[in-house]
Amino acid sequence: MPLVSMRQLLDEAAKGGYGVGAFNVNDMEQIQAIMMAAKETRSPVIVQASRGARQFAEDLYLFRLIQAAAELNPEIPIAMHQDHGNSFETCKSAIALGYTSVMMDGSLKEDGKTPSSFEENVDVTRRVVDYAHERGVTVEGEIGVLGGVEDGHGAGGSGLDHITDPDQAVEFAEKTGVDALAIAIGTSHGAYKFTKKPDGSVLKMDVLIAIHKRLPHTHLVMHGSSSVPKDLQDEINKDGGKLNETWGVPVEEIQLGIRNGVRKINVDTDNRLAITGAIRKVFAETPEKFDPRDYLKPAREAMKKVVALRMTQFGQAGHAGDYAPIPITEIAKGYANGTLSTQPLVAAK
């Protein structure tokens, strides 16, 4: 199957009432782990690359691997997404490679660190939407600012510093025409999200629900949504790792989000933990081994297990065969003639 439009994938998820995991990749083993999980659970999937990943793997290596994944798994709808694009140019270069979706994170300035003004965010996001939609490519925008830093991207503060204002979310969706909207509800990137199991004082599910009430048909995106389970932390620490105790976003909160308009859930940290734990185990238990396959294979298997579990928990499992992919050229026509809406339905307060 060719790479599909993320808009189509999310529209289908909305119809089916489920969420779709968006998993970050940097190398072949991670891509294979995701595809093994998607195949096993028959899930449509979003694969995403940050700027850091594109740099690490080099654009062409990474994109050719995704193309191989699509070719080898014709029964799986795959959207390839630029995670946290920092500028029009970054998004444009992803589209030139063949990515079917981009995130323009205009919540930060181009340095990927300094929070921008609302007007700056609207302006750059709108420009990316115009450019991308003409080419049938999906756009995710962000309003509010996530906490933490990942791959050098992020304001670095607490997740509570810039919680999304529902009125601003409505205005942003109207002014930009984005297909999906990332919101800040207290989550942070990286492993250290919460210092205890999060409650409503730090994880603002009420804000998410308020935004969904105003924008009932807008696809919401949860960033920084690894669950950082204790068993994955223990696995690392047992074999010489030194992670401090930390809490992520509980799966049941993500499921509450999915019942309230969340269609894309970004997961990276959980996979990183699974990979590192598996490699440490091989090193600790069989220090005589030196063939990289001896630890990359269990690492890939450990990530596959986490991804397959999330696919089941998010509800995307079993939905791979629900629909045929619409060619990207047809998606572009849909944006142009208005059959694919770019104006949100706004409910009264």
Closest distance of CB 224 from Zn ion, Å: 6
With tokens 């969420």, the residue in question is: 19
What's the rounded Cα separation, in Å, for the pair 266 and 208?
A: 16
Pick between residue 136 and residue 248 the one whose CB is nearest to Zn ion: 248
Residue among 340, 347, 345, 321 at smallest CA distance from 136: 340
In this structure, are residues 321 and 75 in contact, taking their beta carbons and an 8 Å threshold? yes
Determine the residue with CB nearest Zn ion. 223
Closer CB to Zn ion, 26 or 41, in the complex: 26
Stretch that binds Zn ion, among 156-164, 208-216, 217-225, 332-340 (CB under 5 A): 217-225
Residue type, 210: A
Of the pair 85, 325, the CB lying nearest Zn ion is at 85
193 lines the binding site for Zn ion (CB under 5 A)? no
* 249 contacts 187 by C-beta, under 8 angstroms: yes
73-112 residues in contact with Zn ion (CB under 5 A) are: none
Neighbours of 261 (CB within 10 A): 22
Q: Is 149 exposed, middle or buried (0-12, 13-18, 19+ CB in 10 A)?
A: middle
Cα-based distances in Å from 229 to 146, 235, 274, 292? 21, 10, 10, 26
CB nearer to Zn ion: pick between 212 and 223: 223
Residues that are catalytic? 83
d(CA 31, CA 16): 25
- Shortest Cβ 135–Zn ion spacing (Å): 23
SS3 49: strand
- Identity of the residue, 85 or 136, whose beta carbon is nearer to Zn ion in the bound complex: 85
How far apart are CB 139 and Zn ion at their closest, in Å?
15
Site for Zn ion in 261-300 (CB under 5 A): none
Q: What is the DSSP letter of 22?
A: E
Is 5 or 266 the residue whose CB approaches Zn ion more closely? 266
Nearer to Zn ion, 267 or 317 (CB): 267
- Cα 107 to Cα 311: distance, rounded to the nearest angstrom: 28
Question: Which SS3 state, helix, strand or coil, does residue 267 take?
Answer: strand
Q: Least distance to Zn ion from the beta carbon of 83, Å?
A: 6
> For Zn ion, which stretch binds (CB under 5 A), given 21-29, 222-230, 272-280, 326-334?
222-230
CB of 315 to Zn ion, least distance (A): 21
CA dist 186 and 183 (Å) reads: 9
Query: CA dist 290 to 240, 286, 295, Å?
Result: 18, 9, 9
Count of residues binding Zn ion (CB under 5 A)? 1
Task: Identify which range of 45-53, 212-220, 223-231, 313-321 contacts Zn ion by CB under 5 A.
Answer: 223-231
CA distances from 145 to 102, 157, 209, 314, 316 (A): 18, 9, 18, 24, 27
Which one of 51-59, 113-121, 221-229, 325-333 is the stretch in contact with Zn ion (CB under 5 A)? 221-229
Which one of residues 223, 263, 300, 319 is an interface residue with Zn ion (CB under 5 A)?
223
Structure tokens at 134: 């003409």
Task: Write down the least CB distance from residue 72 to Zn ion, Å.
Answer: 28
Write down the least CB distance from residue 92 to Zn ion, Å. Answer: 20
**Binding span for Zn ion by CB under 5 A among 42-50, 193-201, 215-223, 328-336:** 215-223
Residues in touch with Zn ion (CB under 5 A):
223
